[in-house]
């Protein structure tokens, strides 16, 4: 977690970050001076009760929201100073997202769902197709490339969603309760996949979860409470 002169700044750093919603009597302080440092290649489980600030912190890290005060640095650059369009570019080129509800287009094949981020980037059809098939292969779903979400199990749908998140080769994968809609066996399969992506591709994973057995897959657990980081501990390397 420490920064050294040799290694330079951490991949991600929040310094004294606050977030206030509303004004006056109705103001609610969701974050109260959060300090977090995340190195390239880390796998962090973010936990905490409802209203603890974990979702607000993840929205800021995902460039979906901005802090009221404090600094958010990504590779040393001040994200809080970027315009909305600049934040959108950072999202598009460096971040991948996985959601509890999969968020797949219902009438679209697995392959076409995975191609979507590349379509937004304006990549040519042949390149989109090749990269999407490679991403589906990486999650073990290439034989199902022509299937729509209705023809896939929940675990398979989440694999398609993960393929869509990694098709752009993101630096960071933000996963919001990625096993929340899955049974126990599928949940462990999805976590094994996230561990492999972190280990083999060096993708930094930030995952919100309320399930301790899922959090144990991470290298590090950060717990939020009342808008602050309550605890932050590292497991040691997984075997």
Q: For residue 67, what is the domain's CATH number? A: 3.40.50.300
**Confidence (pLDDT) at 8:** 75
Do the domain assignments include residue 7? no
Do the domain assignments include residue 208? yes
Q: How far apart are CA 101 and CA 103, in angstroms?
A: 6
DSSP annotation of 75: T
Do the domain assignments include residue 174? yes
How far, in Å, are 3, 124, 224 from residue 95 at the CA level? 22, 21, 22
The residue-averaged pLDDT of 173-179 equals: 95
Do the domain assignments include residue 169? yes
Structural domain boundaries, residue 108: 12-234
**Confidence (pLDDT) at 7:** 59
Identify the CA nearest to 36 among candidates 63, 1, 82: 1
Tell me if 115 sits within 8 A of 128, measured CB to CB.
yes
* Interval 179-234: pLDDT, tens: 999 999 999 999 999 999 999 999 999 999 999 999 999 999 999 999 999 999 99
Do the domain assignments include residue 59? yes
| Beta bridge partners of residue 176, listed in sequence order | 99, 208
pTM above 0.85, yes or no: yes
Do the domain assignments include residue 99? yes
Do the domain assignments include residue 34? yes
> Could you give the number of structural domains in the chain?
1
Tell me if 121 sits within 8 A of 89, measured CB to CB.
no
Tell me if 176 sits within 8 A of 100, measured CB to CB.
yes
Do the domain assignments include residue 6? no
* Interval 27-83: pLDDT, tens: 999 999 999 999 999 999 999 999 999 999 999 999 999 999 999 999 999 999 999
């Amino acid at each position: 977690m420490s920064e050294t002169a040799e290694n330079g700044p951490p991949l991600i750093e929040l310094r004294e970050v606050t977030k206030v919603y509303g004004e006056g009597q109705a103001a609610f302080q969701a974050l109260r001076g959060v300090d977090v440092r995340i190195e390239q290649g880390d796998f962090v489980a973010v936990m905490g009760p409802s209203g603890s600030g974990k979702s607000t912190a993840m929205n800021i890290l995902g460039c979906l929201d901005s802090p009221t005060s404090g600094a958010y640095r990504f590779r040393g650059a001040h994200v809080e100073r970027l315009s909305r369009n600049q934040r959108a570019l950072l999202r598009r080129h460096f971040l991948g997202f996985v959601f509890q509800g999969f968020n797949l287009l219902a009438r679209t094949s697995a392959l076409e769902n995975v191609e979507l981020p590349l379509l937004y980037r304006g990549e040519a059809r042949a390149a989109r197709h090749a990269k999407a098939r490679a991403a589906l292969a990486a999650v073990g779903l290439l034989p199902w490339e022509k299937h729509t979400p209705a023809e896939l199990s929940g675990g398979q749908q989440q694999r398609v969603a993960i393929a869509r998140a990694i098709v752009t080769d993101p630096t960071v994968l933000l996963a919001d309760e990625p096993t929340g809609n899955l049974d126990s066996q599928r949940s462990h399969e999805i976590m094994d996949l996230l561990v492999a992506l972190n280990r083999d591709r060096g993708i930094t994973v930030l995952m919100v979860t309320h399930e301790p057995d899922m959090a144990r897959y991470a290298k590090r657990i950060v717990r939020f409470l009342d808008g602050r980081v309550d605890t932050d501990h590292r497991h040691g390397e997984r075997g």
